[in-house]
Structures are given as C-alpha cells and as structure tokens.
Structure 1
Amino acid sequence: MRFRHRAVAGLTTLLLPLATLVALGAPAEAAPEAAPAATATYAKTQDWGNGFEGKWTVKNTGTTSISSWNVEWDFPSGTKVTSAWDATVTNSGNRWTAKNLGWNGTLAPGASVSFGFNGSGPGSPSNCSLNGASCDGGSVPGDNPPSAPGTPTASDITNTSAKLSWKAATDDKGVKNYDVLRDGSKVATVTGTTYADSGLTAGTDYSYTVQARDTADQTGPASGAVKVHTTGGTDPGPGPGDKVKLGYFTQWGVYGRNYHVKNIDTSASASKITHINYAFGNVQGGKCTIGDAYADYDKAYTADQSVDGKADTWDQPLRGNFNQLRKLKAKHPNLKVLWSFGGWTWSGGFTDAMKNPAAFAKSCHDLVEDPRWADVFDGIDLDWEYPNACGLTCDTSGPASMKNMMQAFRTEFGKDALVTAAITADGSSGGKIDAADYGGASQYADWYNVMTYDFFGGWAAKGPTAPHSPLTSYPGIPQDGFNSADAITKLKAKGVPAAKLLLGIGFYGRGWTGVTQKEPGGTATGAAPGTYEAGIEDYKVLKNSCPANGTIAGTAYAHCGNNWWSYDTPATVKSKMAWSKQQGLGGAFFWEFSGDTTNGELVSAINDGLK
C-alpha cells in the first residue's frame, strides 16, 4: 500500500469546541435592540457538491461600540445549516438565526467578527437582518453585492515594488472602491483600478487579489490571484541541473503523530530540502476538494507549536498547516511547496474526474490558487494510484489517461507553476508502468516521483520476507521487475528523461512476525506489530528497537526475536543517492517527514548524497 490516508471521517466537526456546535431545531431568540451602522456580509467559502461552507462577517461601521449581534436570514426549502462555529445558530422553519457567543459579541467602531457553518442544499441566504435592521452588506433584495474584479496583472516589478491593474467590477448601485489584498491581508483601499505596492522584500513571492466595495459598503467576491516575484534577493530555488530533494508532509500527522510543520525546521531538515509535497487533497465529484479543513487551514497553533513562535489568533484569516507552511517559506525563501491530491485512499475519484480533464484541472487550479493561500503553493502534485490499472480500486480509463491528465493540468496551470505526479514503480512485464503512457505524459510534467518502495510487505502474510525497497534485483526476489533499477530502466525506455525521475525513499520499514530465518526469503506467520499499523514502523523506532544486521539489494534488513524488518538507513540512503546521480536522475523524494529522527538523519543522508 502506498500513501495511505489515515484521517478519520468527520474529524473536523468533532474537533470544534463543544460550545460552538449548532443547536438545530430550537426556536429563534428575539433580536436585541437594533444597533445602527453595522453590516453583515455573507460568502460561500467552500462548495464540495453535496455540501458547502458559509461565512458571515459582522462589521461595526458606526462610531459607538456594539455589545451584541444577531444575524437572521432565510434559506429556501432543502437548504440548511448542519454545524456551526463561533456563533449559536438556531432555526424556526426556513428562518435561521445566529447569535454571538459570550466572548465575541462586543465590537468596537471599525471592528469585525466572523462566524462560519457547514451546510447542505443548493440555496443562498435572503432577507437578511442584523439586530433587527437591514444587513446592508449582506444579501439584501434590490441591492446586490458587486461582482469580482478581473484578475490583476502585474508590471514594473522591482526589488521592492510592483504595479497592479485590473478590470473594473460591476454593481447595480455602483462601485465605491476596491480593497487590495497581499497574501490575504488588506494593504490598501483605492477608488481606481490600479495600485502601486511598495516596501516589498527583494527576491520574494507575493500573491495579490482585489475585491470591490459598493456604495452600501458591501464587498463582493475576490478576484483571481496574481503571483509576483520581486527581483533581486537570493536564488529562488533549484535551477536546471540542480537536484530536487523533496519530502511529503501529511496533514494527519498533526494528530496522533504530533508532527507539525515546525518540526521540519527544528530538525534542520528545511535547510536541506528543496520542495515539500503537502498530502493530501481529495478528488471527488469530478474535482479537487479539501482533504481535512481543520488540519489544513483552521487548527489554531500555540506559540510553542508555531514555526515563528507566535500563536494564532481566533480572528486571523488563515490558520492550520497552510499558515505554518507560509511561515516556513518566509524563514526559508528558497523552499517550494506543492499540494498533492489523491494518494492510495483518495485515488478512486480520478476515474470520474478524468471524464472531463479540463474541468478537473480548472477545479484544482481554483482550489490551489484560492486567495486565502495562493502564496503558499507553487504547484500541484497528482498521485493517481493507478491510471488504467488497479490499486485500492480499479481504473479502466485507457492508456492515454495519464497523458490526457498531465496535458490538461499543464494547460491550466501554465508554464511557471510546478506540475508533477507520483507514479508506480512496477517494472514487471505487462505491469502498471506498461498500463499507461507515462512517456507521453512526461512532456507536461516537471518530474515524476517514482514510488520505489512498498514492493513487498506483510500483506503477504506467509512471506517470503523481502526488502520492501530493493534498489536492484537479487537471486530469489519474489517478483521480477519489483525493484528500483528495473522501474527506472523501463521508464527511460518509454521516453521519460532521466532528469524528470526522482528516486523514492521510504522513511519506514516493512516487516513480518513468526520468522526464524535471518536472511531474506524466510517464511512468516503474519505482519509484524507496528505503532500505528501492523507490518509498518517508522525508521526512528526501528533504528533502536530492531537495528539492521544485514543488507541486500542496497537495502538494510534486521532480524530480532521473531520479527524481520527491512528499511533504509543513512548508509543505504547515501548509496542510493550515489546510484541516482550515476543514472542522471533529477534527485530524490521521501515518504514522509515524521518517520525520520528528531535531528533529521535520513534527510541529511539524502542531502549529503546528492551534493
């Protein structure tokens, strides 16, 4: 099994504070005394087909404080709130009421507060009232919010400044001005359709969006994002001929594993890699969707958990792993981050999505380039296991499916964004590499992450024991073609340039129990016990609990008691990096950070081996 996703369904809702959970079906409370000069604005922040996420923002536009707020609106029949946070939400029929909690009811002049909810159904709110008066900034009949402005274009970029321009938004009552947002935070409000930003840092990536405001102070949806890289500064990243050193970071690692983005920095690994793949986004309903909203962008980090030592606040626009990755990139400007979609568990959605590759690619681009986190990601990684073959589910899209997907994504993301894919390493005759046109697809990819691990494991309960990541074949190997060298050779023969192939390293071992034979090829009774899953264990555990006492085919193995494990050590990793360089490969990648030691032994071995 490769790239198994362990996030528990419904975890986001379960982790919401109990006091903020919605109480559905209760009668609406009476509205407090009306407070003038306040607005309530609604936005649909996510839509995943059978449900959506909505957000209301209450703003005090007056000159005196507001002590409480109460937002009411109508949903059409069939649309409802299913859970909520930062407000108490009730309903009476189709009329919904959201009342402040004890800690967020007071708003000073100019202050604002937001609350959110998950909902089901296709409808939008109407007949909005705030504290008994018109919402003004909400969905008010006869006064619609403005449209989204055109995506800005950037010009006159220097070390410290950039000029932006955009097409005007439209509004039924007239556009008053525009808010300019840099990396999700407002930096200016202008009346025209241009803005010159200054005071920037040389050699740095920025993301800009614009949203319009009408004469009633309603704000419309944000424009598309434009990325700006200021001139000067340090080298932005690896160039032609440089070796890629990439690691996967798993969103669910922040739970039981207690592994956070900060650990990439404190282990000294961040300075030794070039790229991070964030795993995973989901693929469902023909498009890319959020994998775990709580871990991705909502989890509040304390100061001791945060990359920069600063705690998240309740009202900041972006939290969670995405914000921590933003902070990591600020500390390590050369580091690039890609958002990986699919994986073993979530690959089943690719078959449906590939019925319309262009629409699939656009949905993924829209999500990756969402204005809230567009600056975090430098591209996308597609982990389809496997096109025109079987993994957890089987796909019969045909040999051209891989090429069609990569072409659609390159067209949608353009030449400057990174577009990569994690692919099979099954080099057997008639195996998974033969099932799809990986050669033809490679012209559209920056590189392939070749999953040269998990060839053998405890799923074959009786063995024979074998290294799960053999570099080469060896006498007695259980399956021809199941090794790194054969996979790389086959991919080259199919026309994939060597420089577009990254060798995969597993930061874990695979093992069996009931084994009496030290050398590979022994019989077993089942998968060896593991911390999180039978048959698999992190390197950081195995190096002490079952130290390696032999090597075969470039991979270490260990026999301790009744258990037999195979895994890579710093020594075998360095030998694999030497082989990678000899083959002219583009570098290496690994699955995944949390399996390494606290001082990043395996990452250091990759870095040292590729110098």
Structure 2
Amino acid sequence: MRVVPVLVAMIALLAGCTATPARTSAAPPSSAAPASRVVAYFADWGVYGRDFQVRDVDTSGAAGRLTHLVYAFGQVTDGTCATGDAWAAAQKPYAAEDSVDGVADVPTQVLRGTFGQLRKLKARHPNLRILWSFGGWTGSRGYTEAARDPGRFARSCATLLKDPRWAGLFDGIDIDWEYPNACGLECDRSGPLALGALLGALRSELGQDAVITAAVPGDIGKLTATDYAGAARAATWLSAMTYDYFGTGDTPGPTAPHSPLTAYPGIPRETATADAAVRELLALGVPRDKVLLGVGFYGRGWRGVSTAAPGGRASGAAAGSYDKGVEDYEVLRKSCPPTGTAGGTAYAFCRDQWWSYDTPETIRTKMAYARSNGLGGAFAWELSGDTPDAQLVRAMADGLSG
C-alpha cells in the first residue's frame, strides 16, 4: 500500500521498465454476479497529524456502507506477526468527543486506542468485518523470513489475534507483502510459491470462516513473479493495487494519471492500467470473484506545468499537505477541481499544477467495470482521504450495488 516517501522513487523506476504487449480494451464481460465487497483501509498513523479517528468512519456514514475495514499496519518481526504502533493501536486514550459512543476512556480501561474504538464501531455496525493487515511498503522486509516457516508465522498471527485485550475484534488477516519474489523497497527471492504457502498456513490455522486476504501488485510485470492463482486458492480475495502507475517520481513528466482504468492516447505505458492488471490476474487463473479492484482516495501531482492535457512537462512535484506530489481527495476537490478525464480517471490543471485523482463520478465508472466483469468488489487506500460525508465510499458502495 501507499507509504509515500520511498514510493515516489519506486514509481520512477517502474516508469522506465520495458513495456510488454498492450492490453488496452476492457476485460471481457462475465455473467458471474460480483460479491460486491466494499473494503477500505484505516491507516494507524492517521490518528496523529491527520486527526482521522475511528469515530470519523462512523459519523461520515462510511461504516454503514463498508463490508470490511482493514487496519494497517501490523509488523512482520523475526518472521512473525507483531503489533505495529502499540500506542495508537491499544493505548492512546480517547476523550468523549472523539469516541465512537461518546464515552471517554478511563485509565483503568484494559483496551484503549484504535482497537478500543474499533470494538465500539463493530458493536454499532455488527455486520462490519474487521481485518488486521501486516506489512505495507516499508514493512514487508520480514516476509522473507516468514516464508521460511509459514506454519510458525501463522501460529504467531493466531496468537496475536487472540490477545485477551482485543480477542474477537478481528475477523481475519490481510497480507500486504510488497512484493513476493520481486522488488519493492527491497528485492525478495522467496520463490513463486511463498505467498500461497503463507496464505495456506493462515487458512489452516485460522479456519474456513476467517477472512484471509492479500494485497497484490497492479503492475503486470510483478504479477508474473508469483503463483497468484495458487495463492488465491487459500485466500478469500486478492486486492489488486491498481494505482500509483505514474507519479511525481517521473519528474519532469510527462504528466499522466496515476490510476487509469484503461489506456488512452499518449499514455506513457499502455499496460499501466487497472484493466491490464485485472486481465493479467484472470489470465493467470485467479477467479474473477476473488479479484478486488483498487481505488486511491488521493491524487498525485506536478508543478511547473503549462499544458492542461496529460503528457505535459513539469519542473517538479507539487506541494502536498504531508508529502511532495501527494494530496488527499478532500483537499484536491476544493483546491484543484477536475478539468478533464483520461483513461477513466480525472485530472485537474490549476495555475501551474497538474493533478490526477478519482472522483465520485470516476469511481462509479470503475465500479461499473468491476460489476460487469464479475469481480469480487473493490477496496480503497485509505479512508482519511475521503470527505467528511464519505463521498468516495458512498460512490464505491452505490456503484457496486448497481
């Protein structure tokens, strides 16, 4: 998933890769009914500077539209599952005005923090299933060791889920390994069967009722490095990270939308689209209803641009609230409204800045694509970028329901 400072450099590297033959048309329609899973990640660091709390998931209306919420991230330490930010997860006290149920935490409380708030959210929305994701862009290093003993890894995850402080909160586990048998922040050589072995061990350990998922690359070159069809057999679904195809790591351009659904005239790499990733996963043998389409609740942008259409040159990354070249949808919809669309996503040219991001309208287009192709639903990275009334989550849910 997006943990941005290092990712910009990786996108630049990917942009220089040799393109494989293009698959530019939409994937063939399927008569299979989609499962309509509406999934979104909640990032643990959002409770700090962003001040995005679990209460916001409730008051925005997102909790009532989501089928699954994924908490990110736990760590993979010494090949085992471990808590990430322990303070944010289980210790941070919440005042009444910040709490899901309006009741303040007290010092003698066994469980506080985000987990305490998630328990309250689940009580209010009993049909919402909650997963714990491990890894992420900066946290995937430990998976190489975990892959050496999948059984040990799975047992450690089960033990962590059963911790008395939050036992019963989580309905399963999400593996965010970037990337098995390929290069992310570091290069991994665990072999093409490693991801499937970890998912299989988790399934054996946690049982058939557990939700066990994995985030998988949106880049078709990386998809060939692992047996994703084999991995899918033990997984409830695979979440295709169909975003971050282009970005300000490509400075000085050309400008290009970071999450195109399909190719468009002039796209720098014709296979850098969500449709190409979906086609590849299906061609590899992953069942349609086990593929989730990824949506970013943020945009990527350049400065020093003089051309409104995609393909212009730039002088550098546009300023963002937290990272260069990255901004939340909630900010961009006001500061730089859309001026056009390309490849099924929006772009915006304002002053000398050029941004690309999804809007409620383009998300509905993407959900129609997921529906018509019999996919299992869609997921979003991540909730803090949405509006206070959850416009993007609502567009996902409404779009998937038809």
Question: Do both share a fold (TM > 0.5)?
Answer: yes
Give the corresponding residue for 2:129. Answer: 336
Give the corresponding residue for 1:359. Answer: 152
Is the Cα contact below 8 Å between 2:34 and 2:375 reproduced in 1?
A: no
Count residues in correspondence. Answer: 374
Picking from 493, 507, 528, the partner of 2:283 is 493
1:250-329 residue pairs with structure 2 within 5 A? 250-329=43-122
Asked whether 1:572 is paired with 2:362, we answer yes
Q: Give the CA deviation at 1:371.
A: 2.0
Pick the structure with greater CA Rg.
1
Q: Give the CA deviation at 1:375.
A: 1.3
Give the corresponding residue for 2:39. Answer: 246
Q: Give the CA deviation at 1:241.
A: 5.5
Long gaps (5+) in structure 2: 6-32
User: Deviation digits for residues 487-537 of structure 1, max 9, x if unmatched?
Assistant: 001101111111011111100001111111111111111111100000100
Is the Cα contact below 8 Å between 1:470 and 1:554 reproduced in 2?
A: yes
What SS does structure 2 have at the residue aligned with 1:380? strand
What SS does structure 2 have at the residue aligned with 1:435? coil
What SS does structure 1 have at the residue aligned with 2:200? helix
User: Deviation digits for residues 524-560 of structure 1, max 9, x if unmatched?
Assistant: 1111110000010000000010000000000000011
Q: Give the CA deviation at 1:475.
A: 2.2
With the length of structure 1 as denominator, give the TM-score of the two structures: 0.60
Give the corresponding residue for 2:18. Answer: none
**Aligned residues: percent identity?**
56
Give the corresponding residue for 1:396. Answer: 189
Give the corresponding residue for 1:466. Answer: 256
Is the Cα contact below 8 Å between 1:382 and 1:421 reproduced in 2?
A: yes
What SS does structure 2 have at the residue aligned with 1:520? coil
User: Deviation digits for residues 438-474 of structure 1, max 9, x if unmatched?
Assistant: 0111000000111010010001111111110000112
Q: Give the CA deviation at 1:480.
A: 3.1
C-alpha distance in 1 between matches for 2:291 and 2:244: 18
Give the corresponding residue for 2:316. Answer: 526
What SS does structure 1 have at the residue aligned with 2:170? coil
Q: Give the CA deviation at 1:410.
A: 1.2
C-alpha distance in 1 between matches for 2:194 and 2:61: 40
Greater mean deviation of Cα atoms: 530-539 or 511-520: 511-520
Give the corresponding residue for 1:551. Answer: 341
Long gaps (5+) in structure 1: 7-239
Q: Give the CA deviation at 1:414.
A: 1.2
Picking from 356, 378, 381, the partner of 1:591 is 381
User: Deviation digits for residues 183-221 of structure 1, max 9, x if unmatched?
Assistant: xxxxxxxxxxxxxxxxxxxxxxxxxxxxxxxxxxxxxxx
Picking from 193, 198, 205, the partner of 1:405 is 198
Give the corresponding residue for 1:3. Answer: 2
C-alpha distance in 1 between matches for 2:4 and 2:148: 25
Question: Where is the helix percentage greater, Structure 1 or Structure 2?
Answer: 2
Is the Cα contact below 8 Å between 2:4 and 2:323 reproduced in 1?
A: no
Asked whether 1:515 is paired with 2:305, we answer yes
Is the Cα contact below 8 Å between 1:5 and 1:345 reproduced in 2?
A: no
- Relative contact order, higher structure (CA 8 A, sep 6+): 2
User: Deviation digits for residues 584-605 of structure 1, max 9, x if unmatched?
Assistant: 0011110111101101111111
C-alpha distance in 1 between matches for 2:60 and 2:375: 26
User: Deviation digits for residues 127-147 of structure 1, max 9, x if unmatched?
Assistant: xxxxxxxxxxxxxxxxxxxxx
1:55-204 residue pairs with structure 2 within 5 A? none
What SS does structure 2 have at the residue aligned with 1:610? helix
Q: Match for 1:475: what amino acid?
A: P
Give the corresponding residue for 2:292. Answer: 502
What SS does structure 2 have at the residue aligned with 1:304? helix
C-alpha distance in 2 between matches for 1:331 and 1:406: 30
Is the Cα contact below 8 Å between 2:70 and 2:133 reproduced in 1?
A: yes
1:199-214 residue pairs with structure 2 within 5 A? none
With the length of structure 2 as denominator, give the TM-score of the two structures: 0.91
Give the corresponding residue for 2:166. Answer: 373
What SS does structure 1 have at the residue aligned with 2:96? coil
Q: Give the CA deviation at 1:5.
A: 7.5
Give the corresponding residue for 2:143. Answer: 350
Is the Cα contact below 8 Å between 1:5 and 1:343 reproduced in 2?
A: no
C-alpha distance in 1 between matches for 2:78 and 2:192: 22
C-alpha distance in 2 between matches for 1:488 and 1:388: 20
Give the corresponding residue for 2:15. Answer: none
Is the Cα contact below 8 Å between 1:423 and 1:449 reproduced in 2?
A: yes
User: Deviation digits for residues 379-414 of structure 1, max 9, x if unmatched?
Assistant: 000000000001111101111112222111111111
Q: Give the CA deviation at 1:579.
A: 0.8
C-alpha distance in 2 between matches for 1:345 and 1:320: 23
Moved over 3 A (4+): none
Question: Where is the strand percentage greater, Structure 1 or Structure 2?
Answer: 1
C-alpha distance in 2 between matches for 1:562 and 1:522: 11
Change (3 A) 1:5 1:526: closer
Is the Cα contact below 8 Å between 1:580 and 1:587 reproduced in 2?
A: yes
Asked whether 1:540 is paired with 2:316, we answer no
